[in-house]
């Protein structure tokens, strides 16, 4: 019986270590992804955790009653609920902190460029980089509508676009007319 209890304790210790390492990897991954949570290489691993047998549950309960087991030990398939709100706040704090560091770094480089009489060139290059990195460079998704109706099938416009026909109709008949 003691051998079985030792194996169970080792298994729980191994699971806790794995959870700690996974949490650290997750935080590191979110840090490198600038807190946006965007990760194109994310793979979801589905791992089956063996469910405890009735004997394991009974022995675990008897250990808890005897006081020899710590309160932090849980069955392998019992995971504490994670607060998504806490992770969301943590993610936002990380994102804003990183953007603040980037802004301070850019301002520092800009001040150095001004001292070297290179300020306007640095500003223009920064603007070009900003434009490039804030536009989408990958191809559009299948059946995705373009903001420019000439690129859509049958020249359909997206919702909310003011078309010439609609504008003319509103000028002639007022905005309350339905046609």
pLDDT of 40-63, one tens digit each?
Answer: 454 555 555 556 565 555 555 555
Instruction: Round to whole Å and give the CA distance between 122 and 111.
Output: 10
CA 120 from centre of chain: 36
Q: State the average pLDDT over residues 107-129.
A: 94
Tokens of residue 137, six digits? 């460079």
H helices of 33-148, in order, are 54-66, 84-115, 119-133
- In the predicted model, is pLDDT for residue 68 greater than 50? no
Tokens of residue 31, six digits? 């840090």
Phi then psi for residue 99, to 5 deg, are -65, -35
Q: State the average pLDDT over residues 85-89.
A: 66
Average pLDDT, the chain: 75
Segments making up each domain of the chain, as ranges? 2-80, 87-133
Rg (CA), the chain: 29
Instruction: Round to whole Å and give the CA distance between 166 and 172.
Output: 10
Q: What is the pLDDT of residues 120-172, one digit of tens each?
A: 999 999 999 999 888 877 787 787 777 777 777 777 788 777 788 888 888 88
Q: Is residue 118 a contact partner of residue 110, using CB atoms and an 8 Å limit?
A: no
pLDDT-based confidence at residue 104 (cuts at 50, 70, 90): very high
Query: What is the pLDDT, as a whole number, of residue 23?
Result: 84
Q: What percent of the chain has pLDDT over 90?
A: 22
Tokens of residue 61, six digits? 């309960």
């Amino acid at each position: 019986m003691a051998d079985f209890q030792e194996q169970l304790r080792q298994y729980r210790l191994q699971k806790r270590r794995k959870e700690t390492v996974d949490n650290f990897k997750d935080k590191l991954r979110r840090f490198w992804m600038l807190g946006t949570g965007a990760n194109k290489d994310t793979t979801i691993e589905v791992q089956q955790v063996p469910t405890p047998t009735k004997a394991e549950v009974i022995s675990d309960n008897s250990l808890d009653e005897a006081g020899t087991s710590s309160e932090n030990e849980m069955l392998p398939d019992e995971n504490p609920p994670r607060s998504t709100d806490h992770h969301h706040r943590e993610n936002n704090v990380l994102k804003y902190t990183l953007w603040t560091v980037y802004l301070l770094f850019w301002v520092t480089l800009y001040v150095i460029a001004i001292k070297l009489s290179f300020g306007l060139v640095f500003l223009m290059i920064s603007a070009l980089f900003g434009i490039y990195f804030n536009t989408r460079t990958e191809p559009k998704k299948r059946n995705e509508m373009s903001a420019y109706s000439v690129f859509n099938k049958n020249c359909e416009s997206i919702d909310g676009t003011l078309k010439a026909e609609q504008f003319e109709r509103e000028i002639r008949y007022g905005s309350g007319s339905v046609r």
